[in-house]
Amino acid sequence: MDKRVYLLTIVSFVVGMVELIIGGILDLVAVDLGVTLGQAGLLITVFSLVFAIAAPILLVATSKIERKRLTLLALSVFLLGNLIAVISPSYAILFIARIISAASGSLLIVLCVTMASNIVDPKYRGRAIGIVFMGVSGSLVLGVPIGLMLGNAFGWRAPFLMITVLTLLSMIGVYFFMSKIAPRPQISLGKQLATLKNRKILFAQLTTFLFLAGHLTLYAYLTPFLKSTMGLGGTWVSIVYLIFGVAAVIGGGVGGTLSDKFGTRPTIISVIIVFGLSIFAIPYTTFAFPIFLIVMIVWSMMSWAITPAMQSFLIETSPETADTQQSLNNSALHFGIAFGSLIGGMVIEQASIEYNATVGGVFVIIALGTAVFAMAKAHSRAVV
């Protein structure tokens, strides 16, 4: 397989890391810029929201531009967004920087997947796309502990400075090692959205949205939760996030294995149930740190175990629109991150951070309902 796929995986990792890298240092940002935790949480919300909306729109708008050139242009804009974040003197400027980074980053992820599928032999295409998505999933779960360690050591601007340097290195790699790739015809946004008329697909995508919303209601504010409920300091918080990230990456592999062995439907339902039980249990484990860690590891593994099973289910359900469903599922995932972090901030502002896990669990229950409905529809149609 073409080794340049790994370069694109690095690019996708760098881009994806920006989304949640601020999650572990929300308290540092809030104190330095004089805003509340809820307002600081909006920096995650706006990024995920713009990311979800911009990806399909920008892909259609730039469909005629040569792919390598477009990648370098998008990386330049992404670099600008992170530079603004590094020097931002106020919350408003940082907010704008997040919008710039999100819009350009959303396009870059799609371009990485497209270019990876173009530079390999057809027999390696699925593997290449999977490797690029490993960069994305890895960045989402490891971005927070990396940001937390750098933020605690050098201040909240340090993670963005690191991203700026890595973006520059990515630009150099793409410029020297990637060849020109002609654009391919793109499916219009209207046709992409029209696939949601299939109720199986609609409720499957809703499941992803609700599942991630429930997850981020607590995960986006895990740092203040750990500090307020267990009195953990910066070092232990970093350790917790690192354990969470490693467990989440392992969970993605476990989810794929379970899906292959037992099928997508039982895997999705089982993962949601175990995930829901673990997130509901979290507030009741804070009295004993070892017990908390055990439950948290289960929560973490299940948080990403659903992704490969859900993507496989969508491919099974509508193989003729598989590429479109992967794109829409990516948007649903980021809409969930945006909505969950928004709701989590509202819970903190209106009540207490101790309720975030319970509120997140409610979304997971609803996700279980939409998943069952999607599976039931799929079964009933198969019988007919």
Quick one: pLDDT at residue 383?
38
Q: How far apart are CA 96 and CA 370, in angstroms?
A: 35
DSSP string, 168-237: HHHHHHHHHHPPP--------HHHHHHGGGSHHHHHHHHHHHHHHHHHHHHHTTHHHHHHHHH---HHHH
Quick one: pLDDT at residue 296?
96
Q: Which helix (H) or strand (E) holds 349?
A: helix 322-350
- Helices 264-281, 356-383: axis angle to 10 degrees equals 170
Query: For residue 272, which phi and psi values (nearest 5 degrees)?
Result: -65, -40
Select from 289, 255, 246 the least CA-distant residue to 275: 255
Quick one: pLDDT at residue 311?
79
Written as tens digits, the pLDDT of the chain (384 aa) is: 788 889 999 999 999 888 878 887 888 999 999 999 889 989 999 998 998 888 878 878 888 899 899 999 999 999 999 999 999 999 999 999 999 999 999 899 888 877 887 888 877 766 777 788 778 777 877 777 888 888 888 999 999 999 999 999 999 999 999 888 888 766 677 777 787 888 888 999 999 999 999 999 999 899 899 999 999 887 888 889 889 988 888 888 788 888 888 888 999 999 999 999 999 999 999 999 999 999 999 999 999 888 878 878 887 887 777 667 777 888 898 899 999 999 999 999 998 899 999 999 999 999 999 999 998 844 444 433
Q: Is 171:79 a contact under the CB 8 Å cutoff?
A: yes
Q: How far apart are CA 63 and CA 274, in angstroms?
A: 41
**Residue bearing tokens 């500090």:** 227
Select from 167, 221, 169 the least CA-distant residue to 347: 221
Q: Is 151:28 a contact under the CB 8 Å cutoff?
A: yes
Domains of the chain, each with CATH number or no CATH:
1-186 (1.20.1250.20), 187-384 (1.20.1250.20)
Q: Is 43:133 a contact under the CB 8 Å cutoff?
A: no
Q: How far apart are CA 100 and CA 216, in angstroms?
A: 22
Q: How far apart are CA 28 and CA 291, in angstroms?
A: 28
Report pTM: 0.81
